Amino acid sequence: MVLKVTKILAFQSLSGIYSAREFVWWYNGHPDYSSLKPDLKTSDSAVILGQGNVALDVARILLRPTTELASTDIATHALSALKESSIRKVYLIGRRGPVQAALTAKELREVLGIKNLHIRIKQTDLSVTPADEEEMKTSRARKRIYELLSKAAAAAKTSEADPDQRELHFVFFRQPDQFLESDERKGHVSGVNLQKTILESVGTGKQIAVGTGEFEDLNCSMVLKAIGYKSVPVNGLPFDHKKGGII
């Protein structure tokens, strides 16, 4: 049950929402973030906004068995917290489709290779348009990513999910519109309101996501933002506010 909604630009007022950078520094042992307390116990679901390599790395940490993480250089405090985690479902949200996913084949293979992990991708999201075909013709990397995702979806379709399996959901054609606040835990996030998108061509080989005005809610107790960073002005240096960088 939802008490109210908080616009994306005002999300900092809700607890349970973190930048991927904070989370990465937390599990890598950065001294400034060792005291971070990510909410890993309230529910079984976490949402990651973004589908790039950083998003995949965060998903891998949340879903990989802790017996395997123990043999890595992960921070001790993070490993202890992950051992107590209730997170079993991770949703990777992307504004565009699988052809446009901004990740690398190497990172994707690592995530798809996690033991006892069920991959979920809607079959309709894997449909390609002539514009998608054109993008894959000009980018071998994009074609390979699409092939890996399609293969993973096909393999998951032929096998039933085990109740003990963890799940990784690739959610395409969705963009965050609002964060939802819990009425049971005031001030804490309880989900994300997503707007469905479609792709529009803006020139040869390029498509952008456009909102359709249709919305849906996705419940979770933790949101991680992995959608890049924007520079801030530095006194005395010329700055392009539109591009978000020093000129």
pLDDT of residue 234: 66
Angle at the Cα of 226 from the Cα atoms of 54 and 76, rounded to 5 degrees:
60
pLDDT of residue 56: 97
Q: Name the fold adopted by 2-225.
A: FAD/NAD(P)-binding domain (3.50.50)
Please list the rounded mean pLDDT of every run of 10 residues in the chain (247 residues): 45 84 96 94 96 97 97 97 97 97 95 95 95 94 96 86 87 96 92 96 87 96 83 67 64
Q: Say what the pTM is.
A: 0.88
What spatial distance separates the first Cα and last Cα of the chain, rounded to whole Å? 47
pLDDT of residue 12: 54
pLDDT of residue 203: 78
pLDDT of residue 245: 64
| Spans of all domains in the chain | 2-225
